[in-house]
Amino acid sequence: MSVRYVTVLSKLFRNRTSKAITRRLFSVNLAAAEDNKNENFTTSLEFLSPDTVKTIPSYRVLDLSGQVLNKNEEPKIDDAKLVKMYETMVTLNVMDKILYDSQRQGRISFYMTSYGEEASHLGSAAALDNEDLVYAQYRETGVLLWRGFTPEECMNQCYGNNLDKGKGKQMPCHFGSKVHNFITISSPLTTQMPQAVGSAYAFKRAQNGKCVIVYFGDGAASEGDAHAAFNFSATLECPVIFFCRNNGYAISTPVKEQYRGDGIVSRGQGYGITSIRVDGNDILAVYNATLAARNYCLSNNKPVIVEAMTYRVGHHSTSDDSSAYRSAEEVKKWVQTDNPMVRTFKYLHGKNLWDEKKQSECEKEAKSIILKGFGRAEKVKKPNWTEMFTDVLASENDILMEQKEYMRKHLEKYSDCYPLQ
């Protein structure tokens, strides 16, 4: 019995629907194989080994010192926009520092920094149209800042105060904003991926010229929902950009325990998805790849995978001490040799758009804005406890109203025991 025949049989028994079975049988018997372009024959017994496939290279525009490697690849971004991209990176950095410290002081309950991944946020965000819909994982705050969501709004969310759009219901860093076309973040990893595909399908039908971008990490890509999303996007032909932040770690788990293939980008081929790997610390490479991906997915109604290779410089979150599973030297090496902030700085410096003075002024101003905003956010009252009962369903129902009434009466009696304002 030939190997091929065994394969056919084993597939026959594995498949859950007869459709797949019939398709396979008929494709063998009737050579109705144009559906499946990979269907051909060989007389030599050869397994396809991942070791024989070349590693997919990272696309790079800037070298580590901020020099453009190939002049043809330098994007035409106007100076003001370039400066704004970098200023947003600086703002993100400063906010991360202040909010990280404030968590350490117990002023907010949780925080996640974006250290090391600033270029992937801003490079991608700046290449999109602000009307494009964003589904994020949680480490994409720079994208939101680019769209005009202010640091103060971030802090309102982290404090869960009265000005928080989410009315204080979610943990810090679970941002969302309708006006900024940024779907509210949720903690379950990867759930946003098939959702992004569904939204992209609806956009395609609406012919509104918008695409959807969905961000996720290398760890999230291991979830079943990632498989679902890749496969649905390809078969249903959806204009969606899958933007993977491959930063080497999922909390403590290094990528070698996460997968054994060539990262995330190599999976694109298996799903029939156009894909590219980029240097995620190179803002121009990320920008070019995202812009091209957007054009491609909108003009072809097809998905694209962009895998941005970067490094998670900070701890996973404020609940994590990453020195427990990686060395300080490793982190230091990245910070010193392959730093997206430094590289962008040098590029702008080379274009005479930026210098040390501007840097310190920008940092100072960001710090001042954020500290002022922080002070205000901290003082804004928390939403009334009755908000706990809103937005469960579109309208209130009798059981919920009864439970709210029960709590009201309870609080009348036990007001001293609760943090009422």
Partner 1 sequence: MPLVITCLKMHIRTFRGLFLNNLAKWRFLKGEKQGKRCAAHFNYQADDSRPVEGETTKLTMYQAITDAMDICMKEDPTALIFGEDVAFGGVFRCSVGLQEKYGKDRVFNTPLCEQGIAGFAIGVAAVGSTAIAEIQFADYIFPAFDQIVNEAAKFRYRSGGEFSCGKLTIRAPCSAVGHGGLYHSQSPEAYFAHTPGLKVVIPRGSVKAKGLLISCIEDDDPCLFLEPKVLYRGAVEEVPVAKYKLPIGKAEIVIPGDQVTLIGWGTQVHVLCEVAMMAKEKHNISCEVIDLYSIVPWDRETVFNSAKKTGRTIIAHEAPYTGGFGAELAASIQNACFLYLEAPVGRVAGFDTPFPHIFEPFYIPDKWRCLQAVLDIVNY
Residue with Cβ nearer partner 1 (143 or 200): 200
Q: Tell me the sheet residues that pair with 98.
A: none
Rule CB under 8 A: is residue 22 a binding residue for partner 1? Answer: yes
**Interface residue with partner 1, options 46, 51, 398, 416 (CB under 8 A):** 398
Rule CB under 8 A: is residue 71 a binding residue for partner 1? Answer: no
State both tokens at 274: 């156009």
Q: From CA 71, how far away is CA 86, in angstroms rounded? A: 21
As measured in angstroms, the least distance from the Cβ of 68 to partner 1 is: 38
Residue with Cβ nearer partner 1 (2 or 207): 207
Q: What is the contact mask toward partner 1 in residues 168 to 207, using x (rule: CB under 8 A)?
A: -xx---x-xxx----xx-x-x--x-xxxxxxxxxxx-xx-
Rule CB under 8 A: is residue 158 a binding residue for partner 1? Answer: no
Rule CB under 8 A: is residue 222 a binding residue for partner 1? Answer: no
Three-class SS state of 128: coil
As measured in angstroms, the least distance from the Cβ of 395 to partner 1 is: 8
Sign of CA dihedral 405, 409, 411, 415: positive
Q: What is the contact mask toward partner 1 in residues 28 to 67, using x (rule: CB under 8 A)?
A: --x-------------------------------------
Contact criterion met (CB below 8 Å) for 320 and 278: no
Rule CB under 8 A: is residue 228 a binding residue for partner 1? Answer: yes
Instruction: Look up residue 133 and give its DSSP letter.
Output: E
Pick from 254, 262, 252, 188: which is nearest to 225 by CA?
188
As measured in angstroms, the least distance from the Cβ of 207 to partner 1 is: 11
As measured in angstroms, the least distance from the Cβ of 314 to partner 1 is: 25
Distance, first Cα to last Cα, the chain: 78
As measured in angstroms, the least distance from the Cβ of 336 to partner 1 is: 39
Q: From CA 22, how far away is CA 34, in angstroms rounded? A: 15
Residue with Cβ nearer partner 1 (199 or 275): 199
Residue with Cβ nearer partner 1 (227 or 358): 227
Cα maximum dimension of the chain: 84
Rule CB under 8 A: is residue 139 a binding residue for partner 1? Answer: no
- Pairing state between β 249-250 and 240-246: unpaired
As measured in angstroms, the least distance from the Cβ of 241 to partner 1 is: 14
Rule CB under 8 A: is residue 7 a binding residue for partner 1? Answer: no
Pick from 282, 347, 355, 352: which is nearest to 66 by CA?
347
**Interface residue with partner 1, options 2, 14, 17, 356 (CB under 8 A):** 17
Three-class SS state of 335: helix
Residue with Cβ nearer partner 1 (164 or 307): 164
State both tokens at 401: 């109203």
Residue with Cβ nearer partner 1 (176 or 263): 176
**Interface residue with partner 1, options 397, 417, 419, 421 (CB under 8 A):** 397
State both tokens at 177: 């904003």
Contact criterion met (CB below 8 Å) for 272 and 302: no
Contact criterion met (CB below 8 Å) for 102 and 159: no
Q: What Cα–Cα distance (Å) separates residue 288 from each residue in 10, 331, 369? A: 44, 27, 31
Residue with Cβ nearer partner 1 (19 or 76): 19
As measured in angstroms, the least distance from the Cβ of 128 to partner 1 is: 16
The beta strands (E) that lie in 121-211 are given as 133-135, 182-183
Pick from 185, 218, 416, 393: which is nearest to 310 by CA?
218
As measured in angstroms, the least distance from the Cβ of 186 to partner 1 is: 6
Residue 335 sits at φ, ψ, to 5 deg, of -60, -40
Question: Binding residues for partner 1, per CB under 8 A?
Answer: 16-19, 21-22, 26, 30, 133, 135, 164-167, 169-170, 174, 176-178, 183-184, 186, 188, 191, 193-203, 205-206, 224-225, 227-229, 231-232, 235-236, 390-395, 397-399
